[in-house]
């Protein structure tokens, strides 16, 4: 891959190196080894735990030994998603990057700037012998995107410091001091197979090319959910026509708003044209409803090969009604921070997991633990009323804001000095590892900040180049002005 020369050069050079290494969630062995070798080649104390988390300790610059120890933290893994027409194997192929105006993008896949650019910035700090700072420990965690298991498995040895600066936020000039906690419900629907009678016509229904996005950051942007739309359409057909559901699937990642869904239905041959008309009406209605947020949405229905069996009628009805009934979207806004989503839920995926089983995954978030548990119970109830066996994971904690944070003051003061503008102080509805860090090391003073990114967790992911340069300058100034012990 041709190396692009972007500023700050050192940060982008390390990012492009990361793009060459497969590092999808739960496939971080190569990137972990790469970082371990990097630290050792620099001559710094480098520690790795049994799951692959890496800690590299850089001593203070001369005369800065009296500064508090800062932990710079980012996660190694990336969300692996691509457009359906793109050939890409995330287990071996490099991410192919290109510049589009002010943005760095990938060719039909996620870019991995979440959080590869944070890892790259920490590497640039480690590699630069001239940067002025106190003791810096660079912490790189695994598997943030699919369960925060790296952060969860950390021992206290990896969190020995006074301040933690998380490099995993997505709006330059915004200092994040809190985040949502999260939880997931997994609903297993069991069904029987029944024979489709003679004289039925089979149709494949596809809803795709929706905008999608991050189920935390983008949940308030009125984007359509492909799974909700599919259930809505098939329930509509079932009210008017004799209909069998043969198969259904949609979405993939628990933390991404689903962009695509697919189903196969069987209807009496005499009704096939009426069903096509119904689908065209439905597509037009949805395109009108979501005209501002789903300009690229595609709705297709085509004939397909006959299949012998379909999901039994009662099970299909319960599944589809559960999918339509289950809550999806913003559940509550924060009363403390105007504009912040407090509580939400995302109907993330529907997929076959056995001969006669379908698994539905829905993820819930909230900055208030009791509210998180309430919306989780609400989602669980909808699935259980539909006859599903529901498992709820243990979830992860949120991060309560501390407006009196010492490092927050440094961050805001240095931003003002550099750019002549006030940094914005915010909390984020997405989950960060900070809640788990605080649970393990309650005395940590924490902030999170990063360059501007858009389309995260989707093939539209892009990194704003100029904001990355500003963010790097800010990070350097923050380290130089770190509080004294």
1: pLDDT strictly greater than 70: no
Q: Phi, psi (5° rounding) for residue 247?
A: -165, 155
32-80: pLDDT as tens digits:
999 999 999 999 999 999 999 999 999 999 999 999 999 999 999 999 9
The pairing of strands 163-166 and 70-75 is parallel
Spatial contact of 244 and 313, defined as CB atoms under 8 Å apart: yes
Task: Report how far Cα 7 is from the mean position of its chain's Cα atoms.
Answer: 26
pLDDT score for 5: 81
**How far apart, in whole angstroms, are the C-alpha atoms of residue 65 and residue 134?**
5
Spatial contact of 104 and 113, defined as CB atoms under 8 Å apart: yes
367: pLDDT strictly greater than 90: no
pLDDT score for 338: 83
Question: Residue 396 — very low, low, confident or very high, per pLDDT cuts 50/70/90?
Answer: confident
Q: Phi, psi (5° rounding) for residue 368?
A: -115, 120
224-252: pLDDT as tens digits:
999 999 999 999 999 999 999 999 999 98
| Mean pLDDT (whole number) for 269-293 | 98
Among residues 461, 400, 463, the alpha carbon closest in space to that of 428 is found at: 400
User: Three-state SS string across the chain, please?
Assistant: CCCCCCCCHHHHHHHHHHHCCCCECCCCHHHHHHHHHHHHHCCCEEEECCCCCEEEEECCCCCCCCECCEEEEEECCECCCECCCCCCCCCCCCCCEEEECCEEEECCECCCHHHHHHHHHHHHHHHCCCCCCCCEEEEEECCCCCCCHHHHHCCHHHHCCCEEEECCCCCCCEEEEEECEEEEEEEEEECCEEECCCCEEEEEEEEECCCCCECCCCCCCCCCCHHHHHHHHHHHHHHHCCCEEEEEEECCCCCECCCCEEEEEEEEHHHHHHHHHHHHHHHHHHHHHCCCCCCCCEEEEEECCCCCEEECHHHHHHHHHHHHHCCCEEEEECCCCCCCEEEEEEEEEEEEEECCEEEEEEEEEECCHHHHHHHHHHHHHHHHHCCCEEEECCCECCECCCCCCHHHHHHHHHHHHHHCCCCEEEEECCCCCHHHHHHHCCCCEEEECCCCEECCCCCCCEEEHHHHHHHHHHHHHHHHCCCEC
pLDDT score for 225: 98
pLDDT score for 4: 64
As a whole number of Å, the CA-based R_g of the chain is: 24
pLDDT score for 394: 82
Spatial contact of 433 and 151, defined as CB atoms under 8 Å apart: yes
pLDDT score for 403: 86
Specify the higher pLDDT residue, 147 or 131.
131
What mean pLDDT is reported for the chain?
Answer: 96
Longest Cα–Cα distance in the chain: 85
| Mean pLDDT (whole number) for 72-98 | 96
Residue 72 vs residues 54, 129, 163, 165: alpha-carbon distances, Å: 12, 16, 9, 5
The encoded tokens of residue 280 equal 């065209």
Q: What percent of the chain has pLDDT over 70?
A: 99
Q: What percent of the chain has pLDDT over 90?
A: 90
The encoded tokens of residue 112 equal 């991995």
2: pLDDT strictly greater than 60: no
pTM: 0.74
| Mean pLDDT (whole number) for 134-145 | 97
Question: Residue 402 — very low, low, confident or very high, per pLDDT cuts 50/70/90?
Answer: confident
**77 a catalytic residue:** yes
pLDDT score for 304: 97
Residue 443 vs residues 67, 151, 159, 161, 402: alpha-carbon distances, Å: 17, 17, 10, 9, 12
30-42: pLDDT as tens digits:
999 999 999 999 9
pLDDT score for 3: 52
| Mean pLDDT (whole number) for 473-480 | 98
Question: Residue 278 — very low, low, confident or very high, per pLDDT cuts 50/70/90?
Answer: very high
The pairing of strands 445-448 and 163-166 is parallel
Considering the candidates 28, 144, 162, 460, report the single residue annotated as catalytic.
144
């Amino acid at each position: 891959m041709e190396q692009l020369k972007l500023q700050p050069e050192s940060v982008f050079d390390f990012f492009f190196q990361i793009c060459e290494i497969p590092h999808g969630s739960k496939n971080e062995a190569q990137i972990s080894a790469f970082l371990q070798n990097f630290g050792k080649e620099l001559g710094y104390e480098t520690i790795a735990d049994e799951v692959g988390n890496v800690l590299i300790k850089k001593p203070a610059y001369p005369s800065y030994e009296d500064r508090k120890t800062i932990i710079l933290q980012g996660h190694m893994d990336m969300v692996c998603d691509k457009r359906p027409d793109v050939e890409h194997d995330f287990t071996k192929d490099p991410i192919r990057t290109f510049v589009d105006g002010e943005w760095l993008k990938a060719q039909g896949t996620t870019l991995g700037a979440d959080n590869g650019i944070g890892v790259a910035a920490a590497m640039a700090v480690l590699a630069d012998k001239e940067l002025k700072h106190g003791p810096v420990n660079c912490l790189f965690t695994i598997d943030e995107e699919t369960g925060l298991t790296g952060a969860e498995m950390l021992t206290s040895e990896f969190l020995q410091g006074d301040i933690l600066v998380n490099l995993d936020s997505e709006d330059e000039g915004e200092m994040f001091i809190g985040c949502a906690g999260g939880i997931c419900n997994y609903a297993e629907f069991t069904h029987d197979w029944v024979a489709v009678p003679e004289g039925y016509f089979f149709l494949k229904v596809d809803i795709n090319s929706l905008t999608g996005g991050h189920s935390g950051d983008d949940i308030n942007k009125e984007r359509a959910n492909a799974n909700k739309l599919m259930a809505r359409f098939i329930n509509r057909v079932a009210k008017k026509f004799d209909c069998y559901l043969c198969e259904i699937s949609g979405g993939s990642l628990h933390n991404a708003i689903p962009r695509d869904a697919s189903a196969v239905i069987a209807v009496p041959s005499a009704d096939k044209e009426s069903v096509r008309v119904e689908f065209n009406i439905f597509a037009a209605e949805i395109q009108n409803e979501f005209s501002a947020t789903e300009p690229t949405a595609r709705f297709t229905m085509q004939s397909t090969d006959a299949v012998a069996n379909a999901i039994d009628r009662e099970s299909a009805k319960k599944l589809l009604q559960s999918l339509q009934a289950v809550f999806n979207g913003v559940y509550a806004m924060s009363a403390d921070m105007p504009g912040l989503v407090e509580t939400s839920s995302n109907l993330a995926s529907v997929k076959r997991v056995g001969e006669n089983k379908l698994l539905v995954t829905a993820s819930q978030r909230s900055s208030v633990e009791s509210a998180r548990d309430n919306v989780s119970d609400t989602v669980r109830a909808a699935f259980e009323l539909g006859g599903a066996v529901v498992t709820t994971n243990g979830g992860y904690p949120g991060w309560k804001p501390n407006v009196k944070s010492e490092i927050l003051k440094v961050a805001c003061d240095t931003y003002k000095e550099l750019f002549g503008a006030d940094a914005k102080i915010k909390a984020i509805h997405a989950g960060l590892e900070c809640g788990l860090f605080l649970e393990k090391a309650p005395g940590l003073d924490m902030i999170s900040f990063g360059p501007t990114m858009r389309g995260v967790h989707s093939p539209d992911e892009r990194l704003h180049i100029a904001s990355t340069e500003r963010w790097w300058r800010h990070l350097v100034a923050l380290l130089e002005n770190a509080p004294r012990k």
